[in-house]
Amino acid sequence: MPACGGVAVDTVLNNLATGHQFPAQHYFTYMNEEQDGLKWFIYECVASSWMWNSAPRVEYIRVALDLIENLDTPFPAFPGSPTGTVRQFLTNNLTENQLDFVQMMPPLVRQTMPPLVRQCCVASASPCVASPVYAKIMFTVIRDPKKMNSDDTVVIERESDESYTYSYTDKTSMAVKKSCRHTGLRMSHVMSLLSNLLNMLHIDDEPYYGVQVVLPSTPSIMLKTTSLDSATRNLIYDSVENVMDSWPVMV
C-alpha cells in the first residue's frame, strides 16, 4: 500500500481481524490521510469481512469516506486491488442498510450538458439548481457489539417541508422483508415513535447492549441501554427536534 509500510499494514489488518472497536483515528495515524491509503483501508474494511465471516466495518468506512476527495476515482495498485471506482466497489459489496449508514456523497454533477438542455437553461429566467441532499438521522440498536449484522436500525429522513419518513429494520427477523417504513409523518408522529422506542429499550428485561445515535452536524455517541434515563431521553428528543426544525444539507 502506498501510504504506509509493511509493519503498519500488518498492524491495521491484525486490528481489523480482532473485531475490537478501536477509534477510527487509531487507523488513520498510519496513513496521514493520504488518498491512496484511505482507499486501501476502505477496501480492507470490506475484504476483512469475507475472510473472517463478519460484517464490513461500516463505522470506519463512514469516517474514511469523509476524507476521500472524489469517490468516483479508482483504487491504487495493491494485492487484490479491485477494478472500478470506490463508489462502484461499495455499491456492489454493501447492503442497502449499510449504504444508508456510510452515507456516500452523491456523484459530482457533470459540468457539460447536451445543447438542448443548455439552451433551455439559458432561455429560462430561473437558474438550474440541483435538488438538495439531506442528511439522515440514524439510531443503531446494538444486540451484540461483536456482531454488527445483528443490529437493528432506525432511519429518520426528511421527505419535504413538515413531512418525514421513519424506517425500522430488524436484521434478525425471520420475515422475508425485514424493514417497516412510515411515510408522510409530522414531527409529532416521529417524536412519538422515537419516544416509544427509547422507553421500551429502557424497560426491557432482556436488554439490548446499547444504542448509537447519529445526528447530522453532531458527533455520533454510543449509549448503554441502562443509561437511557429520563434526562438522557429528553436530551435526545431535543437534539432530534433541533435537526428537524432546520434540517442540514449534505455539502
At position 133, the amino acid (one-letter code) is V
Contacts of 101 (CB under 8 A, 6+ apart): 58, 62, 138, 140, 153
Q: What is the DSSP string of 2-68?
A: TTS-HHHHHHHHHHHHHT----HHHHHTTTTT-HHHHHHHHHHHHHHHHHHT----HHHHHHHHTT-
Supply the pLDDT for residue 30.
Answer: 66
Q: Report the length, in residues, of the chain.
A: 251
Supply the pLDDT for residue 119.
Answer: 45
- Whether the pTM exceeds 0.75: the reply is no
Q: pLDDT tens digits, residue range 15-56?
A: 776 666 667 666 666 666 688 888 888 888 888 877 766 778
**DSSP E strands: which ranges in the chain?**
137-142, 152-160, 163-170, 179-185, 210-214, 221-224
How is the chain split into domains, by residue range? 6-102, 137-245
Supply the pLDDT for residue 32.
Answer: 63
Low-confidence residues in the chain, pLDDT < 50: 1-3, 5, 7, 109-113, 116, 118-123
Supply the pLDDT for residue 21.
Answer: 66
Supply the pLDDT for residue 111.
Answer: 45
Gap between the Cα atoms of 85 and 72, Å rounded: 5
